[in-house]
């Protein structure tokens, strides 16, 4: 324990040394290199491999060949080099404390364990593996030589694989046996799976993938006992061609003759057999389908009431029988639950994170057909990033209390072979909106009827939700608070416009309309991210639209489209980009009736334009001489049009995956990000109602002519729920500052944002 504490203390001292750039006390200034280049010829690490290179490879990239070999180069990250630098100087200092030297000796040994040295036997084996890889891809005459050399100028040792590819072999013939008697419909499907043809360059991997597609097709067309023999490859050196023969053993085609159900309920009321049967993608008399069985298992698991699901045959193999009976076995999970938890959530409309506590009671099988019911209560700090960025001031805290009920039926009916569910949500919330001395409480009653459906994973879009919603939103004691605010500020015209959106909500209630808006709409989404919180590839797409169905209260149409794309550039870097476009078409603007507060558009904050405060960005400037509470009120005034785009380069600190020490593990979780945000909002309700432009083209054009641009640098530390991040951003172009919009025309300013999870 003492040694561990001493080591941590040593590492803290090292970080301090980095910041203050201390040199070794003996006066020897050793330059810290991020490449690990301190080795000299004839030294203790003379056979160390600093780089592995390939020469002569045209058909395959260095990265592809690097995955074939077992040899590795030393990869010391920045923290390893820093530790190594200080270890060397501490160990040779005559007056360094013994405990400190012991700790640094341990560090030096761990760094030495990360080094990789030239192993001739291993390198020769790698050369053979490269030749095997080339042969499998048609280059039967490829030759590989190894060369371990010293680059005197760069002072590094290089393991070089010199490749002579020679001409690739052509595929002379590809013959499939055992498929001659397939039915015509299966035969036509099989033909669509064949894309490797005679005359192309021989590629074992492509042929193997094609064989697998044919095998899976047979398994989906009733051939339960289908088998694939090892392909026979014949090479003709004189012609430099390959011939391949592949034999399938299909067996008798099988139909499903029986479907039996066994349910282990663990003493709880079970889900009806009819509901379980409706999740199956096959019926009695269907040809056996491997993919239908797998999808059926997923469908039953998606009911959320089962922890174990299996579907299998119920008899031993009988190759002469053309029928298969199946057993569907399910084991239920605990269906009742009550808990109090910390909560972190992010809503779709406002795009920022809330944190708080939630208590709930849930039941996963309320009426015996896997219907889920949930009653909850929440206390939330809204937009936690803005709260932290404003210095944890309670006077600036935006809070919300929620009580709600959720109920869902996973399978209501089928439409175009897709299962359509049913959901009902009812929520009551009380939200405090601080505007300096003028605070506002906004009470909202929201009900929704939902019809969700999942689409095949292979499609660009994989989920659809149709929604009928009714919302009532009312500012409490609005007239009294408005009078107080007007009495404290001289510019009554501006104050009237600032409070217009809230006054419209209050007036609708006074006129006897309980609902602020009744809308019909939906959302389609496609999610192909490889990780929900920290993606490095894939995309997230969303398109949501809704429109008022009754011409009272707020009568409007709202739509927003968002697309994020993630691309891994290297082992340590990911490029993420996002675009968002939204517009509200306001049908009865002359009669007031603005959309609810949480459906207006805002820009600025930790998940939006990071060089501005939350909700601060808009095309309409605010007089900087006005009082602070008036300026704060303007940031709580929404807009009807939004355009945003962001690009972010996410960089991870490279470390050796085999290192297990505390310091290296923390560095491996850390990274930095370079980002740029561009966009703005238009049609702010700060402007008179008659200025609101329902034409989306002209509304978007106003933003494009005057975009706000911010850029910055951020730090990331990974957690299971996503990274904790600190972003420092500055305004490159601020269209509101008419006389000095560019960064070089005004004093340099930094805005810092704290967030949980990536900005997008």
DSSP 146-175: EEEEEETTTTEEEEEEEEE--PPPEEEEEE
Contact 366, 372 (CB under 8 A): yes
List Cβ neighbours of 717 (8 Å cut-off, separation of 6 or more): 669, 670, 723, 724, 725
Strand order through the sheet with 323-332: 255-264, 323-332, 306-313
Between 389 and 308, the higher pLDDT residue: 308
Please tell me the number of Cα atoms within 13 Å of 98 on its side-chain side. Answer: 0
Average of pLDDT values for 441-465?
Answer: 89
pLDDT exceeds 80 at position 424: yes
Whole-number Å distance between alpha carbons of 171 and 244: 8
**Whether residue 668 has pLDDT greater than 50:** yes
Q: Is the pLDDT of residue 394 over 80?
A: no
The pLDDT of residue 438 is 61
Contact 587, 558 (CB under 8 A): no
Are 520 and 449 a contacting pair, CB within 8 Å?
no
For 383-537, where are the E strands, in sequence order? Answer: 398-415, 418-435, 438-454, 463-475, 517-527
| Residue with more model confidence, 543 or 515 | 543
H-run or E-run covering 298:
helix 290-301
Percent of the chain with pLDDT over 90: 41
Quick one: 710 exposed, middle or buried, by C-beta within 10 A (0-12, 13-18, 19+)? buried
Spatial separation of the C-alpha atoms in residues 74 and 48, rounded to whole Å: 7
Joined together, the tokens standing for residue 183 give 């039915």
What is the pLDDT at residue 26? 33
Torsion 398-603-532-598 (CA) sign: positive
Smallest CA-to-CA distance from 150 within 36, 39, 69 is with: 39
Give the closest residue to 546 by CA, choosing from 518, 525, 513, 526: 518
Q: Given a cut of 50, is residue 442 above it in pLDDT? A: yes
Instruction: For residues 682-702, give the mean pLDDT.
Output: 81
pLDDT value at residue 309: 95
Q: Is the pLDDT of residue 319 over 70?
A: no
- Whole-model pTM: value is 0.74
pLDDT of residue 493: 64
Mean pLDDT of 226-236: 90
Query: What is the reported pLDDT for 596?
Result: 86
Q: What are the DSSP calls for 324-356, one per residue?
A: EEEEEEEEE---EEEEEEEEEEE-TTT--EEEE
Report how many helices (DSSP H) and strands (DSSP E) the chain contains, helices first.
Answer: 16, 26
Q: Give the residue from 670, 568, 653 showing the smallest Cα distance to 75.
A: 653
- 208 vs 94, residue with greater confidence: 208
Per-residue confidence (pLDDT) for residue 740, from 0 to 100: 85
Is the Cβ–Cβ distance between 677 and 711 less than 8 Å? yes
β-pairing, 255-264 vs 323-332, is parallel
Length of the chain: 760
What does residue 674 show for φ and ψ, rounded to 5 degrees? -105, 130
Most confident of 202-206, 503-507, 563-567: 563-567
Per-residue pLDDT at 614: 84
10-62 tens-digit pLDDT: 343 333 333 333 233 333 322 222 233 333 333 345 688 989 999 999 989 89
Task: Specify the pLDDT at position 448.
Answer: 95
Q: Is the pLDDT of residue 69 over 80?
A: yes
pLDDT on residue 13: 39
pLDDT at residue 559 tops 70: yes
pLDDT at 408: 94
Q: What is the pLDDT of residues 589-603, one digit of tens each?
A: 766 678 888 888 989
Q: What pLDDT sits at residue 675?
A: 96
| Arithmetic mean of pLDDT over the chain | 82
Residue with tokens 């001395």: 437
Mean pLDDT (whole number) for 278-297: 93
Q: Which two tokens stand for residue 501?
A: 């959106």
Give the pLDDT score at 25: 31
| Ranges 9-13, 336-340, 523-527, 694-698: which has the least confidence | 9-13
Chain centre to alpha carbon of residue 48: 39
pLDDT tens digit string along 710-748? Answer: 999 999 998 877 788 899 999 999 888 878 888 888 888
User: Over the range 556-592, which residues count as b (16 or more CB within 10 Å of their CB) and which as e?
Assistant: bbbbbebbbbbeeeeeeebebbbbbbbbbbbeebebb
pLDDT of 354-386, one tens digit each? 888 999 999 999 998 899 999 999 999 888 777
Per-residue tokens: 195: 């894309």
Residues 6+ apart with CB under 8 A from 64: none
Side-chain half-sphere exposure of 666, counting CA atoms within 13 A: 7
Q: Is the pLDDT of residue 529 over 50?
A: yes
- Residue 409 gets the label, from left (phi > 0), alpha (psi -120 to 50) or beta, of beta
**Run of H or E residues at 678:** strand 670-684
């Amino acid at each position: 324990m003492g040694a561990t504490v001493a080591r941590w203390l040593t590492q803290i001292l090292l970080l301090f040394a980095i910041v203050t750039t201390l040199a070794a006390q003996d006066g020897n200034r050793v330059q810290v290199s991020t490449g690990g280049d301190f080795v000299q010829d004839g030294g203790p690490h003379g056979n160390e491999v600093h780089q592995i290179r390939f020469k002569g490879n045209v058909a395959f990239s260095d990265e592809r060949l690097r995955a074939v070999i077992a040899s590795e180069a030393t990869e010391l990250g920045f923290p390893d080099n820093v530790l190594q630098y200080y270890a060397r100087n501490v160990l040779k200092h005559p007056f360094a404390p013994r405990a400190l030297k012991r700790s640094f000796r341990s560090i030096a040994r761990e760094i030495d364990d990360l080094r990789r040295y030239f192993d001739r036997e291993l390198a020769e084996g790698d050369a053979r593996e490269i030749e095997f890889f080339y042969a499998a891809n048609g280059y039967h005459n490829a030759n590989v030589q190894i060369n371990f050399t010293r680059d005197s100028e760069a002072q590094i040792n290089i393991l070089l694989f010199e490749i002579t590819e020679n001409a690739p072999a052509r595929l002379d013939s590809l013959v499939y046996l055992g498929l001659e008697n397939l039915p015509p419909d299966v035969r036509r499907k099989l033909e669509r799976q064949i894309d490797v043809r005679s005359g192309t360059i021989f590629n074992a991997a492509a042929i193997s993938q094609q064989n697998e597609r044919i095998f899976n097709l047979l398994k989906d067309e009733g051939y339960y006992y289908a088998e694939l023999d090892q392909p026979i490859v014949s090479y003709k050196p004189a012609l430099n061609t390959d011939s391949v023969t592949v034999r399938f053993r299909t067996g008798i085609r099988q139909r499903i003759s029986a479907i039996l159900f066994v349910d282990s309920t663990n003493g709880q009321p079970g889900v009806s057999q009819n509901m379980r049967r409706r999740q199956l993608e096959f019926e009695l008399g269907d040809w056996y389908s491997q993919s239908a069985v797998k999808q059926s298992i997923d469908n039953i698991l998606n009911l959320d009431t089962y922890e174990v699901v299996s579907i299998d045959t119920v008899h031993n193999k009988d190759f002469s029988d053309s029928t298969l009976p199946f057993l569907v076995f399910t084991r239920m999970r605990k269906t009742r639950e009550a808990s109090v938890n910390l909560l972190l959530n992010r809503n779709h409309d406002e795009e920022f994170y809330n944190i708080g506590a939630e208590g709930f009671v849930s039941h996963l099988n309320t009426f015996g057909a896997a219907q889920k019911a949930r009653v909850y209560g929440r206390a939330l700090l809204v937009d936690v990033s803005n709260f932290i960025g404003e210095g944890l001031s309670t006077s600036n805290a935006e809070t919300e209390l929620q009580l709600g009920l959720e109920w869902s039926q996973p399978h209501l009916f089928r439409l175009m072979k897709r299962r359509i569910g049913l959901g009902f949500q009812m929520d009551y919330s009380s939200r405090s909106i601080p505007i300096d001395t003028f605070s506002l409480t906004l009470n909202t009653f929201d009900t929704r009827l939902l019809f969700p459906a999942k689409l095949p994973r292979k499609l660009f879009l994989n989920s659809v939700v149709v929604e009928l919603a009714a919302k009532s939103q009312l500012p409490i004691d609005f007239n009294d608070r408005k009078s107080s605010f007007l009495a404290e500020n001289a510019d009554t015209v501006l104050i009237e416009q600032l409070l217009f959106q809230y006054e419209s909500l209050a007036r609708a209630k006074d006129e006897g309309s309980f609902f602020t808006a009744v809308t019909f709409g939906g959302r389609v989404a496609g999610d192909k991210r490889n990780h929900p919180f920290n993606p490095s590839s894939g995309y997230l797409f969303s398109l949501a639209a809704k429109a008022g169905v009754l011409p009272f209260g707020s009568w409007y149409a709202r739509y927003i489209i968002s697309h994020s794309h993630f691309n891994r550039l290297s082992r340590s870097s990911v490029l993420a980009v996002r675009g968002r476009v939204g517009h509200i078409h306001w049908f009865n603007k002359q009669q007031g009736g603005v959309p609810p507060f949480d459906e207006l558009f805002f820009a600025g904050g930790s998940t939006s334009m990071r060089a501005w405060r939350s909700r601060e960005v808009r095309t309409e400037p605010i007089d900087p001489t006005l009082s602070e509470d008036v300026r704060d009120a303007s940031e709580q005034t929404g807009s009807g049009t939004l355009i945003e785009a962001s690009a972010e380069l996410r960089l991870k600190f490279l470390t050796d995956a085999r290192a297990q020490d505390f310091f290296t593990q923390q560095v491996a979780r850390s990274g930095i990000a370079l980002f740029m945000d561009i966009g703005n909002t238009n049609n702010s309700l700060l402007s008179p109602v008659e200025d609101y432009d329902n034409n989306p083209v002209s509304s978007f054009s106003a933003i494009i002519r005057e975009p706000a641009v911010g850029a910055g640098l951020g730090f990331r530390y990974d957690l299971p729920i996503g990274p904790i991040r600190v972003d420092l951003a500055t305004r490159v172009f601020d269209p509101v500052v008419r006389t000095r919009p560019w960064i070089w025309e005004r004093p340099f300013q930094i805005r810092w944002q704290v967030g949980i999870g990536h900005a997008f």
